[in-house]
Amino acid sequence: MEINTHNAEILLSAANKSHYPEDELPEIALAGRSNVGKSSFINTMLNRKNLARTSGKPGKTQLLNFFNIDDKMRFVDVPGYGYARVSKKEREKWGRMIEEYLTTRENLRAVVSLVDLRHDPTADDVQMYEFLKYYEIPVIIVATKADKIPRGKWNKHESAIKKKLNFDPSDDFILFSSVTKAGMDQAWDAILEKL
């Protein structure tokens, strides 16, 4: 598929099903811990500075944000998990919103699940991966902030992450940096293959 990735815009924000776009365009959702770099990933992939709003403050993204890419596909920016300073009630609301989207959305082709290359995956990261495998949702693991680790140590960090996740070798695993754009072409290849 030919996609002009520069032709991108925010389409809408949704809290539940009744607000999702009603068409058949394929969607790729971004999941990951708060502050891991989901919105930055979208901006980098689309060559935009701040289309998906990023921030040093975790919890910036609160709703499902749908981005239209050239009227051919969408990215769906999902609020991050594991942000400590939210109430139990808010966490439950978050859980229902994500679960509804991930388990019922027919447009969903794959989830890009972001983890931080610097650290072992958190319990929430492992749970998200297990959830996606359980529902047989295709997953692309993107290990981000690779610019913060010297190249000579990438392999070691990659192995540690794969081990902790109980990574299925048939899934994609991509080392990525929004600062250097490392992994961007590979990420596009993996995404286009899922559409």
Ligand X SMILES: Nc1nc2c(ncn2[C@@H]2O[C@H](COP(=O)(O)OP(=O)(O)OP(=O)(O)O)[C@@H](O)[C@H]2O)c(=O)[nH]1
Chain positions 26 to 45 lying near ligand X, rule: CB under 6 A, are 32, 34-40
Q: Which residue is nearest to ligand X (CB)?
A: 80
Query: DSSP of 77-112, one letter per residue?
Result: E-PPB--TTS-HHHHHHHHHHHHHHHHH-TTEEEEE
Q: Which is closer to ligand X, CB of 179 or CB of 195?
A: 179
Token output for 98: 């994500």
Residue 40 touches Mg ion, criterion: CB under 5 A: no
Residue 61 touches Mg ion, criterion: CB under 5 A: yes
Smallest distance from the beta carbon of 134 to ligand X, in angstroms? Answer: 23
Exposure on the CB side of residue 114, measured as CA atoms within 13 A: 30
Q: Which is closer to ligand X, CB of 22 or CB of 90?
A: 90
Q: What angle do CA 79, 121, 76 make, to 5 degrees?
A: 25
> Strand pairing of 27-32 and 64-69?
unpaired
Q: Which is closer to ligand X, CB of 15 or CB of 168?
A: 15
Q: Indicate which single residue of 27, 28, 46, 60 sits in contact with ligand X (rule: CB under 6 A).
A: 60
Smallest distance from the beta carbon of 76 to ligand X, in angstroms? Answer: 12
Calculate the CA 172 to chain-centre distance: 13
Comparing CA positions, the residue from 37, 44, 53 lying closest to residue 148 is: 37
Residue 144 touches ligand X, criterion: CB under 6 A: yes
- The total number of residues shown for the chain amounts to 195
Secondary structure (3-state) at 159: helix
Residue 58 touches ligand X, criterion: CB under 6 A: yes
- Which among Mg ion, ligand X, none contacts residue 179 (Cβ within 5 to 8 A by kind)? ligand X
CA distance 115 to 120: 9
Smallest distance from the beta carbon of 46 to Mg ion, in angstroms? Answer: 14
Residue 100 touches ligand X, criterion: CB under 6 A: no
Interface residues with ligand X (CB under 6 A) are 32, 34-40, 54-56, 58-61, 79-80, 144-145, 147-148, 177-179
